[in-house]
Structure 1
């Protein structure tokens, strides 16, 4: 049975985080930039420990008003300070509970900007390196940040189970229809193509290769629990199961 790794963005004020935590391999916890407070971070860390889920930081542009989904033109020193503070806050909570912070995954517009903007990408890398080189960076294969991080940080290539892609490997903008895949059967087919033959099918254009080893399903997708429960039921018939520690 092949095991796959599913990560989920949590600590963002969703209603079903306890149910989601029981169904995933790793969580990326909002740490104050786009969402999250000390209390929500503490609560989400406790849930992750209860369910044996890997704990990661999910920093973003400091922009709760737009949920971190709008690019912000910031001085890079200011951005680095914000990212270090976000990661530090979650790391301190995690270690105080006797757990380990394993990875960092940028959120929203920051993630998208780091895909092609070398200055933003380097700032994120520099912020993570303030904590040494043990933290794993989740990033898209072929992105600028994944290339710049080589030799500096461990990189885990990520693909999205519930998002549609453009032919160039970027995600379809949430401003466009069909950006988020909400039908559980389509999520299954999209995911299975990636894990079985290493191919992503974009909305338009030819399939392209992926070496992703972790797959994201967003916690704020309205039927995310239903989708994950469906994946747990259906994947074993295809000789695949979702990794749980």
Structure 2
């Protein structure tokens, strides 16, 4: 068994004004870590405050989900941001969320990039280093990311904590990276398949790539996307299956 303990995380607070994409309250009753949108791809101040309060009530760990400044594209469009500017923007987003987390009696415990920034930081050493510099500027928070990524390598060099992550509902390439969303099959939509993959990842540290290869994705945290239709029920099924397989579902240390 690869893990006896697994963290279950989801992206939360992904709304703006009257528009809400994620069922935050339902997901917070299931997950152990919440990646909270910090205003650049989604999330306004009132939403950030509400999610932090609910997360604190449920004992869920709060993470800052930082992004390129791209509300219109939900943070999923490729952007070229100078490293110094990106560092400042990452620290700014963490700082904004920290105010609400502390007001709720909690704190921001880690940093996870979102969307295009997450994928860019897998391969781009310069952008990865800028994200890590932002995390250091905001207090040296641990970084959640893809195993083998430039992001986690940069965090390790900087002396920050690192947490490896796998995705239950995203397809993988043979190289262990995520299949781009624009390609067919990039998102695993069948609930039964997501549940089965979750147990496989947690128990064996492996998953089957879209092209059939077995890929090692040893991870301490498992992500179920909060913007997937029926995400709360799916996350509940994943947690039930993990626990039925003998795994403890709890936040990473």
Give the TM-score of the pair, scaled to structure 1.
0.94
* Counterpart secondary structure, 1:149: helix
The alignment status of 1:6 with 2:13, answered yes or no, reads no
Give CA deviations for 1:16-42 in whole Å, capped at 9, x if unaligned.
210011000100100011011111100
Q: List per-residue Cα deviations over 1:76-110 (Å, max 9, x = no partner).
A: 22222221111110012211222111000000000
Question: Which of these residues, 21, 30, 41, is aligned with residue 34 of structure 1?
Answer: 41
Q: Could you tell me which residue of structure 2 aligns to residue 146 of structure 1?
A: 152
1:184·1:226 contact (CA, 8 Å) conserved in 2? no
Q: Which residue does the alignment assign to 1:188?
A: 195
1:66 paired with 2:59, answer no
* Alpha-carbon separation, structure 1, partners of 2:22 and 2:119: 26
CA contact (8 A) 2:198 2:238 kept: no
Q: How does 1:101-140 map to 2 (within 5 A)?
A: 101-133=108-140, 135-140=141-146
Which aligned runs of 4 or more in structure 1 are off by greater than 6 angstroms?
none
Contact residue 91 and residue 134 of structure 2 kept, 8 A: yes
What are structure 2's unaligned runs of at least 5 residues?
Answer: 16-20
1:231 Cα deviation after fit: 2.1
Tell me the matched-pair count. Answer: 244
Match for residue 228 of structure 1 among 212, 235, 238: 235
Q: Output the aligned Cα RMSD.
A: 1.7
Asked whether the 8 Å contact 2:9–2:221 carries over to 1, the reply is yes
| 1:97–1:236 CA distance, 2 compared to 1 (3 A) | closer
Distance (Å, rounded) in 2 between the aligned partners of 1:96 and 1:104: 19
CA–CA distance in structure 1, aligned partners of residues 26 and 105 of structure 2: 23
TM-score by length of 2: 0.91
